[in-house]
């Protein structure tokens, strides 16, 4: 919860923190609508994600990282479509007004927006009766021939994942107190606290400042069939591709790129974090086998590991095999707002 500091008005707040100049040719905040042009021949890609205090972030989160993450999770949706960010809208509901908090939030938001040329062109600001609520809408441009739709996976495709998996879930569970390293490497109990602290240090950035794979998504869009960003966990999000495409898949647990900090966790904790952990914002893509060289080259150019984790198959459903070749059953479930 943020501290109460008196400022002049809602309009003062907006003009002080959210009215940085916009490029020529765009109309930013200050009128009834913002205006911007879309490149002829390209399609507008748009997406919205909400972030709520207590549900998406802890009340004491660093506001700079919250500003970053509010935009990052939305840019990640553009990345998963292969779209180039153009502009965004920011909806903010704040229970009270803390100038330092808002200034840091705005700095985190604008830093990532500037990095991706995603211009903040407007939004809405209200007082909240409960916690902080943030709603970001992004607009991007994409060549319709290359937009990576969820329904485009084909039997025989490779399944690829960017980056490494599992860290955000571990950080969240450590902060929430639902993961202790007692289930980990069997260190003497005196060392347990220090072990958790180290694990949190190693995994926290993945939770609080995820890197949207915008460049990677744009570069891979000419080579991939389907893509999704992993917000609710690999099994669940890959499941959306499979369902939409009318296909099945098999993946090998041993091929999954696991965040190195997770090596001392129990198999159960690691498996849950990697297969079902949410808040990941890496891309899961499918592409035909003849695209492997392109994926490897683009991964190197982007400086992001791209790992082949399995194959799309005819039929339905996802099968995951462990290192011994045994089917993992039941699979851990991903994040669901009305279940978790």
Ligand X SMILES: Nc1ncnc2c1ncn2[C@@H]1O[C@H](COP(=O)(O)OP(=O)(O)OP(=O)(O)O)[C@@H](O)[C@H]1O
With CB under 6 A, what is the number of residues at the site for ligand X? 5
User: CA of 257: how far to CAs of 4, 154, 173, 275, 332, in Å?
Assistant: 44, 23, 20, 11, 17
Q: Dihedral of CA 247/230/144/296: which sign?
A: negative
Q: Which is nearer to ligand TPS, 177 or 303 (CB)?
A: 177
CA 225 vs. chain centroid, Å, equals 20
Site for ligand X in 199-238 (CB under 6 A): 231-232
49 sits near Mg ion (criterion: CB under 5 A): yes
Nearest to 274 by CA among 256, 250, 255: 256
Q: Which is nearer to ligand X, 138 or 274 (CB)?
A: 138
Reported for 24-27, long-range contacts at CB under 8 A and 24+ positions apart, including other chains, are 26/87, 26/119, 26/121, 27/121
Nearest to 147 by CA among 222, 76, 72, 247: 222
- Give the one residue of 53, 77, 98, 158 binding ligand X; rule: CB under 6 A: 77
Residues in contact with ligand TPS by the rule CB under 6 A: 49, 54-58, 172, 231-232, 278-279, 335
Which of ligand TPS, ligand X, Mg ion, none sits in contact with 160, Cβ below 5 to 8 A by type? none
Letters for 11-50 (x = contact with ligand X by CB under 6 A, - = none) are --------------------------------------x-
Q: Which is nearer to ligand X, 149 or 292 (CB)?
A: 149
Residue 335 CB burial class (10 angstroms; 0-12, 13-18, ≥19): middle
Which of ligand TPS, Mg ion, ligand X, none sits in contact with 55, Cβ below 5 to 8 A by type? ligand TPS
The binding site for ligand X (CB under 6 A) comprises 49, 73, 77, 231-232
The binding site for Mg ion (CB under 5 A) comprises 49
């Amino acid at each position: 919860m943020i501290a109460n500091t008196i400022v002049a008005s809602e309009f003062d707040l907006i003009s002080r923190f959210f009215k940085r100049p916009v490029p020529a040719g765009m109309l930013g905040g200050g009128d009834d609508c913002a205006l911007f042009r879309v490149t002829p021949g390209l399609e507008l890609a748009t997406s919205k994600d909400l972030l709520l205090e207590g549900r998406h972030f802890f009340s004491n989160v660093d506001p700079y990282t919250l500003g970053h993450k509010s935009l990052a999770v939305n840019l990640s949706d553009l990345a998963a479509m292969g779209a180039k960010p153009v502009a965004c809208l920011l909806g903010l509901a704040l229970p009270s007004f803390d100038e330092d908090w808002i200034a840091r939030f705005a700095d985190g938001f604008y830093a990532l927006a500037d990095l991706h040329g995603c211009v903040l062109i407007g939004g809405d600001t209200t007082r909240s009766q409960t916690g902080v609520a943030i709603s970001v809408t992004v607009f991007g441009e994409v060549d319709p021939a290359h937009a990576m739709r969820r329904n485009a996976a084909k039997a025989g495709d490779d399944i690829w994942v960017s980056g490494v998996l599992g860290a955000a879930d571990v950080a969240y569970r450590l902060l929430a107190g639902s993961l202790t390293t007692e289930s980990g490497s069997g260190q003497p109990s005196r060392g347990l606290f220090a072990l958790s602290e180290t694990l949190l240090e190693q995994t926290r950035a993945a939770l609080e400042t995820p890197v949207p794979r915008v460049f990677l998504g744009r570069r891979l869009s000419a080579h991939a069939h389907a893509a999704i960003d992993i917000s609710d966990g690999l099994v669940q999000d890959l499941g959306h591709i499979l369902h939409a495409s009318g296909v099945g898949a098999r993946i090998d647990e041993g091929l999954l790129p696991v965040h190195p900090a997770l090596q001392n966790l129990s198999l159960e904790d690691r498996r849950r974090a990697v297969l079902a952990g949410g808040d990941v914002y890496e891309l899961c893509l499918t592409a035909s086998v003849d695209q492997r060289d392109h994926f490897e080259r683009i991964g190197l150019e982007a400086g992001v590991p791209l790992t082949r984790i399995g194959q799309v198959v005819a039929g339905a459903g996802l099968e995951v095999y462990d290192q011994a070749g045994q089917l993992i059953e039941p699979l851990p479930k991903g994040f669901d707002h009305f279940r978790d």
